[in-house]
Amino acid sequence: MYHNWLDRWDERRARRGEEAKKVTDFILDAGRAFPGEKRIETIDEFCVLADQALSDSGFYDEPSGSSQGFERHDGWLRFPSDISTDVEENNVVWAKITESGSLDQGLVIFHHWNASARNRQIAKFFSQRGITVVEIAMPYHFERSRPGSLYADYMLSPNLGRTIQSVRQAVWDGRKLIRWLKSEGYREVSVLGMSLGSWVAGLVAAHDPGVSKVSLFLTAGSLADMVWTGRATRSIRDSLEPVIELADLRRAW
């Protein structure tokens, strides 16, 4: 029954805002994904860099000395992202805190792509059970939205490099938040992700020893396959399909 509810929820979410999604240009933009590598002109060259990043255990490690700049006020936390983009609003991370009254456990929630509201019911459910919930805004969502955009088109798009940069930024932001929670005294910190957020939460859990538990909902084995088969990402596939095969997209992402 719960799985059927999730499927119906995902279908409604996919239909929401479909009219705003347009087919856009395919762009490699390797310099965003792999700083310093701007002269990449072919998919094969891009995939070589992706292979190198895949074998680099430090690709998702945040820079040292990046623990400054946290501001907490009236149930909200804000702090600077350690990846700077050309969208000023996106460079400040916002998170909604629902207190439990205990420093025993914290839960960081990563929302789905194009989320229109935070998960108040989930936050209330866990906070009443002694778990403080922190709902982080992923890149180009909520307070971090690109001015004039109707959906989070910079978080996931046919721009291969920007998509990698956005996922990497989301992982760095999540790990920075977990480090802050630990510094505040939380004994255990878990992560929960939904849809695209499950990709980010999974990467955070895989790379950060500070994560105690992880729950992933509506996840996929491959980001490329999620885009290729998902209803909500149909416009991205329409942009990609004429110029890149699924096998190469799997390797690139």
Domain boundary assignment for the chain: 2-59+71-252
| Sheet of strand 105-110, all strands in order from the earlier edge strand to the far edge | 71-73, 76-80, 92-98, 131-136, 105-110, 188-194, 211-217
Which pLDDT does position 37 carry in this prediction? 83
Checking if the pLDDT of 205 tops 80, the result is yes
- What is the 3 state secondary structure string of 20-68? HCCCCCCECCHHHHCCCCCCCCCHHHHHHHHHHHHCCCCCCCCCCCCCC
State the burial class of residue 138 (Cβ atoms within 10 Å of its Cβ: 0-12, 13-18, 19+).
buried
pLDDT value of residue 204 = 97
10 near 139, Cβ under 8 Å?
A: no
| pLDDT tens-place string over residues 146-159 | 999 999 999 999 99
- Tell which CATH classification among 3.40.1350, 3.40.50, 3.40.1130, 1.10.260 matches the domain 2-59+71-252: 3.40.50
The owner of tokens 């999730």 is: 6
In terms of Cα–Cα distance, which of 170, 230, 245, 240 is closest to 18? 230
The residue ranking higher by pLDDT, 219 or 251, is 251
Q: Determine the pLDDT at residue 17.
A: 58
Average the pLDDT over 114-121 and give the result. 94
Residues 110, 200 contacting (CB under 8 angstroms): yes
pLDDT digit string, tens, across residues 6-58: 667 666 665 655 666 778 899 999 999 999 887 899 999 999 999 999 999 89
Burial of 14 (0-12, 13-18, 19+ CB in 10 A): middle
Predicted pLDDT of residue 103? 92
The fraction of the chain above a pLDDT of 70, given in percent, is: 91
Spatial distance between the Cα atoms of 42 and 138, rounded to a whole number of angstroms? 29
For the entire predicted model, the pTM comes to 0.91
